[in-house]
Amino acid sequence: MTVSKELMDILACPKCKGVVELEEDGNGIICGACRIRYRVEDDIPIMLIDEAEPLDS
């Protein structure tokens, strides 16, 4: 099971308040504007700015 579509519809990046997308494998949520990735653990998004990982260029 992954993050539900209903949850993804209401999630926003906590840093820029922009749109986020679920990775294909369901292991992370990406903010393209901020170029960061929030991880998903046990189907729960960890949407903490301090826990976000920068995306490689």
SS3 of residue 6 by DSSP: helix
The model's pTM is: 0.89
pLDDT of residue 57: 61
Q: What is the pLDDT of residues 27-55, one digit of tens each?
A: 999 999 999 999 999 989 999 999 999 99
Q: Specify the CATH number for the domain of residue 35.
A: 2.20.25.10
Q: How many helices (H) and strands (E) does the chain have?
A: 1, 5
Contact assessment for residue 31 and residue 18, using Cβ atoms and an 8 Å cutoff: yes
Q: What's the domain count of the chain?
A: 1
Q: Which domain holds residue 25?
A: 5-54
